[in-house]
């Protein structure tokens, strides 16, 4: 057991983030069931929903038609991703005032290393209360905070206290805290592993501890068994902000029902391209290889790649390249777009022997304009500038906002 200074890791997760932003911006929505995602009648799913909507059994990734069946009187809103990203930037700025060691893991959650802050701020509960109050003052939203000796305990604690919770788990209470949790809270316990554990009568983490490592290996295999064995005993990483160099950046969407409509797939892919491009520009990176990922029913998954002539962070380029790899066929359950072979964005030099020499320069100006717009939005808010839709996109119907299925950015 370590004899060094106590480690305190915080997991901060915003409560029903997209829906909470909408209720904050429109007070008439407060107290009402709000569903952010696709519109009823479409094929998309719920991105997130307010706690009022969750009382009807609505949850993220639920098909929008099922959500509408459960609560037809809910307020259904399309996502405003650029606006949510701006709010997320304000929240991260607040986090940075608490500790310089912050590791965002999605738009609305992050791990923070708050070890050693006791002499500056106070005990962990005081630190958590202070950052929750600072976020509420800055953006008018609530966050749930879990604090423990490692990432696993902090994450489970923040989920345990939702919404607007603050749960601190000291090292000496870790085993008792974890023991009463359902086994499903552990990483690696998904749709395949959970039924196996339940058939064995293992409902809680304390139940899981009764099995030896050898017994676990016989049931779920050596890799998952080793992970579950350690997690059940509260053993996990306490490192924050230490990530290997990024190799790829991707965005994918899982539909609630299989989709065969190429128009829906095209529009969804275009939205994914925009989000990947925005994330890439925020980090000053670009991709040379574009990957299209398609998953059919039964987890049959295919990926196709195409190498670009130069690194790009341009959404149009990423979308056009990925869409050129699509081949109509069986209905699609998941579609994704990624970039790899990362590097710095490359300016396009005109070819003096090409009759269309002005076009590359125009493309480079457009890329630099896009970066400038990103910076203006980051400083003054997303309403500072509004970009008109490209006439060619309007003619193809690409300026329409696609329905928003459940999605998440994946980084490796």
Of 52, 86, 109, 275, the active-site residue reads 109
Q: 318 with 249: CB under 8 angstroms?
A: no
pLDDT value at position 350?
39
Q: Is the pLDDT assigned to residue 369 strictly greater than 50? A: yes
d(CA 109, CA 132): 13
Q: Is the pLDDT assigned to residue 406 strictly greater than 80? A: no
Give catalytic status of residue 109 as yes or no.
Answer: yes
d(CA 24, CA 16): 12
Query: Which of these, 335, 209, 212, 333, lies nearest to 272 by C-alpha position?
Result: 335
pLDDT confidence tier of residue 343, bands split at 50, 70 and 90: confident
pLDDT value at position 363?
52
Question: 340 in helix, strand or coil?
Answer: strand
Phi, then psi, of 335 in degrees rounded to 5 = -135, 140
Q: Is the pLDDT assigned to residue 188 strictly greater than 80? A: yes
pLDDT value at position 365?
56
Query: Which of these, 254, 304, 253, 250, lies nearest to 277 by C-alpha position?
Result: 250
Give me the mean pLDDT over the 335-339 stretch. Answer: 95
> Tell me: the pLDDT tens digits for 230-277?
999 999 999 998 555 678 899 998 887 888 888 889 999 999 999 999
Secondary structure, 3-state, 105-143? EECCEEEEECCCCCCCCCCHHHHHHHHHHHHHHHHCCCE
Catalogue all structural domains in the chain, each as residue range(s) with its CATH number. Answer: 1-169 (3.30.70.270), 182-243 (1.10.150.20), 248-411 (3.30.1490.100)
Q: Is the pLDDT assigned to residue 387 strictly greater than 60? A: no
Q: Of 72-86, 254-268, 313-327, where does mean pLDDT reach its minimum?
A: 254-268
């Amino acid at each position: 057991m370590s004899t060094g200074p106590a480690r305190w890791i915080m997991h901060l997760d915003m409560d029903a983030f997209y829906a909470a932003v909408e209720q904050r911006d429109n007070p008439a929505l407060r107290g009402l069931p709000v569903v952010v995602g696709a519109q009823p009648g479409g094929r998309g799913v719920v991105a997130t929903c307010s706690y009022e909507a969750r009382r009807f059994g609505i949850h993220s990734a639920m098909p929008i038609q099922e959500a509408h069946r459960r609560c037809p009187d809910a307020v259904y809103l399309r996502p405003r991703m650029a606006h949510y990203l701006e709010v997320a930037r304000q929240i991260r700025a607040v986090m940075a005032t608490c500790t310089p060691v912050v590791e965002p893991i999605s738009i609305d959650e992050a791990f923070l290393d708050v070890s050693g802050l006791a002499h500056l701020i106070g005990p962990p509960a005081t630190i958590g209360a202070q950052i929750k109050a600072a976020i509420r003052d800055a953006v008018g939203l609530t966050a749930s905070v879990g604090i423990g000796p490692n990432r696993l305990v902090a994450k489970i604690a923040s989920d345990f206290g939702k919404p607007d919770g603050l749960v601190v788990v000291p090292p000496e209470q870790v085993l008792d805290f974890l023991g009463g949790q359902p086994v499903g809270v552990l990483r690696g316990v998904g749709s395949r592993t959970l039924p196996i554990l339940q058939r064995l009568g293992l409902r809680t983490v304390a139940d899981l501890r009764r099995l030896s490592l050898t017994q676990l290996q016989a049931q779920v295999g050596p890799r998952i068994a080793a992970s579950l064995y350690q997690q059940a005993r509260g053993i996990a990483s306490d490192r924050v902000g230490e990530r290997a160099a990024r190799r790829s950046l991707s965005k994918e969407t899982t539909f609630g029902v299989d989709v065969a409509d190429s128009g829906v797939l095209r529009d969804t892919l275009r939205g994914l391209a925009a989000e990947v491009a925005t994330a890439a520009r925020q980090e000053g990176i670009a991709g040379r290889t574009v990957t299209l990922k398609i998953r059919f029913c039964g987890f049959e998954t295919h990926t196709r790649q195409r190498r670009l002539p130069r690194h790009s962070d341009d959404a149009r380029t990423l979308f056009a390249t990925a869409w050129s790899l699509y081949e109509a066929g069986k209905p699609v359950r998941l579609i994704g777009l990624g970039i790899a072979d990362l590097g710095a964005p490359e300016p396009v030099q005109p070819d003096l022997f090409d009759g269309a020499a002005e076009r590359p320069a125009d493309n480079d100006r457009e890329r630099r304009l896009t970066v400038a717009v990103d910076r203006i939005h980051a400083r003054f808010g997303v309403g500072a500038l509004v970009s008109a839709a490209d006439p060619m996109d309007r003619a193809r119907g690409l300026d329409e906002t696609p329905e928003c299925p459940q999605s998440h950015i994946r980084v490796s």
